[in-house]
Amino acid sequence: MGARKRIRAEKIKEAKKQVSFAKLNNVPTSPRKMRLVADMIRGMEVNKALDVLRFSPKEASNRMEKLLRSAIANWEQKNEGVRVEDSNLFVKEVMVDSGRVLKRLRPAPQGRAYRIRKRSNHVTLVVDSKETQN
C-alpha cells in the first residue's frame, strides 16, 4: 500500500472512531419493509424517534427501536458524563442493505414449482449530537 493510500485509510479510520453507530445483520424482514420504517425516523431527534417506533404498527419497528436504543447506549459509552437529554442527539443516518436470500420452492399445479425468496437485510444506524455538527 502506498503512503497516500495509507494516510487516507488512517484518516477514515479515525473518523469512524468518532461516530456512534449500531448494526443489525441478517434481520428476517425484507429490505423494502425495513426501509419504510427507516424513512420514518431518518433525521429525527432521538426521543421523538423512539416514540414514533414504539407506537408504529409495523413489525419491523420493534427491531429498529431496539437498534436505536443500542446506538444511544454506544453514544453514551463514548461520551461519558454527558446526558442524552442535554446533547440534542438525533438519527444522523439509517442504511438498509439487502442481506442473504433464502430460496425455497412451493409446489404448483401440473407438476411445476414456484420460487419463494425469503429476503433479509442489514441495518446500520448512526446517531450524532447537534453540537458536534456546528
- pLDDT of 78 reads 87
Long-range contacts of 63-67 (CB under 8 A, 24+ apart): 63/24, 63/27, 63/29, 63/34, 63/123, 64/34, 64/37, 64/38, 64/123, 64/125, 67/22, 67/24, 67/123, 67/125
pLDDT band at 27 (very low <50, low <70, confident <90, very high): very high
Residue 33 has pLDDT above 80, yes or no: yes
Read off the pTM.
Answer: 0.86
pLDDT band at 133 (very low <50, low <70, confident <90, very high): low
Kindly report the CATH number that applies to the domain delimited by 21-133: 3.90.470.10
Q: What is the pLDDT of residues 71-119, one digit of tens each?
A: 999 999 988 878 888 888 999 999 999 999 999 999 999 999 999 999 9
Residue with cell string 453507530: 21
For residue 66, the cross-strand partners are none
Residue 42 has pLDDT above 60, yes or no: yes
Residue with cell string 443489525: 24
